[in-house]
Structure 1
Amino acid sequence: MIIRDARSADVAAMLAIYAPIVETTAISFEASAPSPGEFAARVDKYGNGWAWLVAEDGGELLGYAYGSPHRERAAYRWSVETSAYVAAAARGRGVGQQLYRALLARLAQRGYCNAYAGIALPNAASIGLHESVGFRAIGAFPSVGYKLGRWHDVAWYHQALRAAPAAPEAPA
């Protein structure tokens, strides 16, 4: 398995992983899967400003992970939100861990200090993945999202990527 930067040619395979999650679970709070064009624009935006990585084995895309802005206001620019999605057939094989380790290292290298992940509950697999790579629970937003006929809490997890400098330069 190799971890590499996502490319536009990966969009269809990534959407094949993501669309069923959007359509059948509350893991993502999107109401419908994005179009290929919308998804490609996300890959371009987040891949250039933060990072978007894929795991590939023998030409098959097994999963992806990316960093995105934590919040839009300037004071938040050293913090990122992270997400990872793994193909159903590849779950339980360490794909998510390898993606996350590479993603977190890349984000730290680019100058980010903190990574946050929001996990719609219940989701024991995602909690296990995040804790296995060093994230720690910091709180929850109760009943923050309504999907599939019920309200869902979102647990928030944090991991320091590097020490916060006294006078930081903007991430690269």
Structure 2
Amino acid sequence: MVTIRILQPSDWEAVRQIYMEGISTGNATFETKAPEWESWDQSHVSGLRFVAINDEGKIMGWAALTPVSGRCVYAGVAEVSVYIGAEFRGQKTGDFLLSYLIRKSEESGYWTLQAGIFEENAASIGLHQKHGFRIIGYREKLGKMNGTWRNVNLLERRSKTVGIK
């Protein structure tokens, strides 16, 4: 059984560890280290960050939204992050988290969710597509990672219940 709840400051060490596991794959982010709590807290939407917890109370993964802009016209547009602990990958944790995040984002008035995913990260691309995201393009050689230029696929999901229908 998976329980999803709001991410609390006391969850940060487990969340940070999962983030570091994602970073270590080389296919999750350009980041090379996880930020401190204060920085992460300020950059993510307060009511739209969640953890998935198993029956033993262990955090399995997390999902959160980051605003794409401070301009009011983009108030309903956010970038999605989903990270699953290494020992819990392939167990539908990402499905539960992303589905929940989408539902809660729509309840909060978000009409567009976007994601930037390395083209090599087929599992993440597939997860997002399963939940209504579509590839709308890619950014070629967006940044260098360990001396190699990386392309990033751009994915977008438009709500069918919020915003323009």
TM-score (structure 1 length as normaliser) = 0.86
Counterpart residue identity of residue 163, structure 2? A
In 2 relative to 1, CA 125–6 (structure 1 residues): closer, same or farther, beyond 3 Å?
same
Structure 1 residues 19-28 or 65-74, which shifts more? 19-28
In structure 2, the partner of 1:164 is: 163
Distance between the aligned counterparts of 1:24 and 1:94, measured in 2? 19
In structure 2, the partner of 1:96 is: 94
In 2 relative to 1, CA 135–24 (structure 1 residues): closer, same or farther, beyond 3 Å?
closer
Distance between the aligned counterparts of 1:108 and 1:137, measured in 2? 20
Counterpart residue identity of residue 129, structure 1? L
Secondary structure, aligned partner of 1:10: helix
| Per-residue CA distance 1:72-105 (angstroms, 9 max, x = gap) | 3332111111010000110111000100011011
Secondary structure, aligned partner of 1:15: helix
In 2 relative to 1, CA 165–123 (structure 1 residues): closer, same or farther, beyond 3 Å?
closer
Moved over 6 A (4+): none
Distance between the aligned counterparts of 2:15 and 2:38, measured in 1? 10
Count of residues in correspondence between the two structures: 162
Tell me whether 1:142 sits opposite 2:140 in the alignment. Answer: yes
Q: What percent identity do the matched residue pairs reach?
A: 31
CA contact (8 A) 2:110 2:162 kept: no
Counterpart residue identity of residue 105, structure 1? R
Residue correspondence of structure 1 range 5-16 to structure 2 within 5 A: 5-16=6-17
In structure 2, the partner of 1:169 is: none
| Per-residue CA distance 1:121-165 (angstroms, 9 max, x = gap) | 211111111111111111101100111220111101111123425
CA drift at 1:43: 3.5
TM-score (structure 2 length as normaliser) = 0.90
CA contact (8 A) 1:82 1:117 kept: yes
CA contact (8 A) 2:112 2:157 kept: yes
In structure 1, the partner of 2:110 is: 112
In structure 2, which of residues 119, 122, 125 is the aligned counterpart of residue 121 of structure 1? 119
Secondary structure, aligned partner of 1:115: strand
Distance between the aligned counterparts of 2:17 and 2:120, measured in 1? 23
Distance between the aligned counterparts of 2:43 and 2:116, measured in 1? 20
Instruction: Quote the RMSD (CA, aligned, Å).
Output: 1.8
Distance between the aligned counterparts of 1:155 and 1:45, measured in 2? 22
CA drift at 1:23: 4.2
In structure 2, the partner of 1:27 is: 28
CA drift at 1:106: 0.6
CA drift at 1:24: 4.7
Secondary structure, aligned partner of 2:44: helix
